A and B are shown apart, each in its own frame.
Chain A
Amino acid sequence: MSTMDLSHDGNRTARGVFFKYLFTLCALLSILTTVAIVLTLLVDSLDFFAAVSPIDFLFGTRWSPTNDPVAFGVLPLISGTLIITFGAAAIALPIGLLTAIYLSEYASSRRRAYLKPALEVLAGVPTVVYGYFALVYVTPALDAIPFVELSTFNALSASIMVGIMIIPMVSSISEDAMSAVPDSLRQASYGLGATKFTVSTSVVVPAALSGIFSSFILALSRAIGETMVVAIAAGQTPKLIDLTDPAGLFLESVQTMTAAMVQIGTNDVVGQSVAYKSLFAVGLTLFVITFAMNLVSEFIASRYREVYQ
């Protein structure tokens, strides 16, 4: 992809040809991986849908893969996932956006040089560690607040930890988008007598909006696919969202799609039972949702790139 390719002799030697095809194979392996993911998920999911109708799976309101009477409705798992994602978004989107504004508009380059790697550490901590933190430190701390009745396993502490984990995704991509906003826009605004606050909120953020949205979607996709935090701290109680009890949504245990997969994975991997096959059906659902979100994010991001380059 170099701008000027002066190498007219790419195929001159046998060795050159050999390496060219070797590298091509490496790149094609990535496509093979995607194909393999789709095939493995599809093959076992089809087996599953031969035993359980897709209607019962997609619209069923009870999830109980191993206990009698067995039921394979995915809706309770999707609502658990939504609760966690919503909670994580409430933490990560505003904090991440404000962080990006600070890094891009306020911080000196020296401070940015310290803050950016420090923020990246948040994303680098293993998720199992966040799960442990949520269970052992965050839940007891929140439970100590008066009038908060928290279950040992609850959606609140899990979504707080997932939220903290995805802050760097929001902040670093949003900051890239804000840094790409041409300085002339800022200068014009300062020329009109605007303060930094006005420039940041009325000029830079709107101009970088597509990049910011793209980072939001990517972060939400990450929250949906997050596994270990919710498997450890959110518990294993699949249930539908009950809007008549909004407080209960976060104070009690829920089960996400990923946590359900871990539960089946630790109990029932051996054997070709329907519960085992349901693993792949849930995995396929998760894959489709996150893949679609990643594509949308990619699409929005590629549009904003064209504007300023």
Chain B
Amino acid sequence: MAAETGDQSVEDSGFGRVSRTKDVAFRWLTLAAALVGILSLAVLLAYVTVDAVGWLDWQFLTSGPHPNPFEAGILPALIGSIALMLLIALVTFPLGVGAAIYLEEYASDGPLTTFIQINIANLAGVPSVVYGLLGLGLFVSLIGLGFGTLIVAAFTVALLILPIVIISAQEAIRAVPDSQRQASYGMGATKWQTIRNVVLPRAMPGILTGTILALGRAIGETAPLIMIGAPTTVFGVPNSLLSKVSAMPMQIYTWAQYPEAEFQYGVVAAGVVTLLVVLLSINSVAILIRNHYQHDQ
């Protein structure tokens, strides 16, 4: 296979001269490319973790924002993020699964279905800042739910991640073998009974995994919150749907703009690590669910 042909005339075809060196070098080049992003992120994460040491403590987790970096904390933003995430899950899960069931189980292969499908793919690519404008125009100005309130923030980010939830739920439902549906019909079950008793239970692990990963994306979103007028500093924990809400990324954005080195290298680093730890926990839950059901099947 590695024989030298020595034939100059076919060199342009790319097959003329077999070069082992080139082959090996290219192999290492592609491997290096695959690692460069992961390694740079690892280095940056190491830096931020080192900077967070000494700042990320119980005091930081249990107090609110403060102009003095040594007294500043993330509690209102942390609780705000968790409250947001729960509300977003409540909105997106039924809507996303419903839409996926329609597209996979009911819709016929017509132009309308194609249109909905392309539309969902496109919505997944709309910049998050534009969703912020949608929230501002629709929920704040038109419906009047108030600037930066919990409910407006939740609805806005829910619309943002809905396409991702629909697409992943569709994949999970599509993965259920057709033979199982036909067996159910053969037993005399109706379409709804088949969906509820056969399709959904089999697809649920995949649906949950996709939804949880989408929620992870949701808690990292900042731009939509800025657009709907979420306040840069919130001192209290949200106690109603109409209270002003902060979120961890919003708080990090605010702190990153403070000129003091204690904020730039200490407080923000602690905030970033807190956000990433929460994100990592959410994603591990998704992975646990997936592994649990993979072993069962």
Contacts and interface: CB of A to CB of B under 8 A. Distances in A.
B191 A30 contact: no
Interface residues of A, number: 107
Interface stretch (A34-42, A53-61, A63-71, A242-250): A34-42
B222 A127 contact: yes
A113 interface: no
B111 interface: no
A195 B23 contact: yes
Contacts of B281: none
Interface string A9-45: 1101101100110111111111101101101110110
Interface stretch (B59-67, B124-132, B238-246): B124-132
A94 B29 CA distance: 11
Interface in A78-132: 94-96, 98-99, 101-103, 105-107, 115, 118-119, 121-122, 124-129, 131-132
Interface stretch (A143-151, A179-187, A265-273): A265-273
B129 A258 contact: yes
Contact of B125 (A39, A101, A119, A218): A218
A164 B38 CA distance: 9
Nearest to B135: A40
Contacts of B20: 195
B27 A198 contact: no
Interface size class of B (residues with CB under 8 A): 35 or more
B235 interface: no
Contacts of A115: 34, 38
Interface in B1-48: 1-3, 5, 13-15, 18-20, 22-23, 26-27, 29-34, 36-38, 40-41, 44, 47-48
B202 to A, nearest CB: 14
Contacts of B13: 202
A202 to B, nearest CB: 4
A16 B2 CA distance: 65
A244 to B, nearest CB: 31
A266 B34 CA distance: 38
B259 to A, nearest CB: 10
Contacts of B277: none
B275 interface: yes
Contact of A102 (B34, B191, B226): B34
A20 B101 CA distance: 9
B22 to A, nearest CB: 5
Nearest to B181: A2
Interface of B: 1-3, 5, 13-15, 18-20, 22-23, 26-27, 29-34, 36-38, 40-41, 44, 47-48, 94-99, 101-109, 113, 115-116, 118-123, 125-134, 136-138, 142, 147, 159, 162-163, 166, 174, 178, 181-182, 185-186, 190-192, 194-195, 213, 216-217, 219-223, 226-227, 229, 232, 249, 252-253, 256-257, 264-265, 268, 272, 275-276, 279, 283
Shortest 4 CB-CB distances between A and B: which pairs?
A225-B127, A126-B220, A40-B137, A26-B98
14 contacts: A1-B108, A30-B116, A40-B142, A95-B33, A95-B36, A98-B33, A102-B27, A106-B31, A124-B220, A135-B256, A167-B37, A197-B23, A228-B223, A298-B122
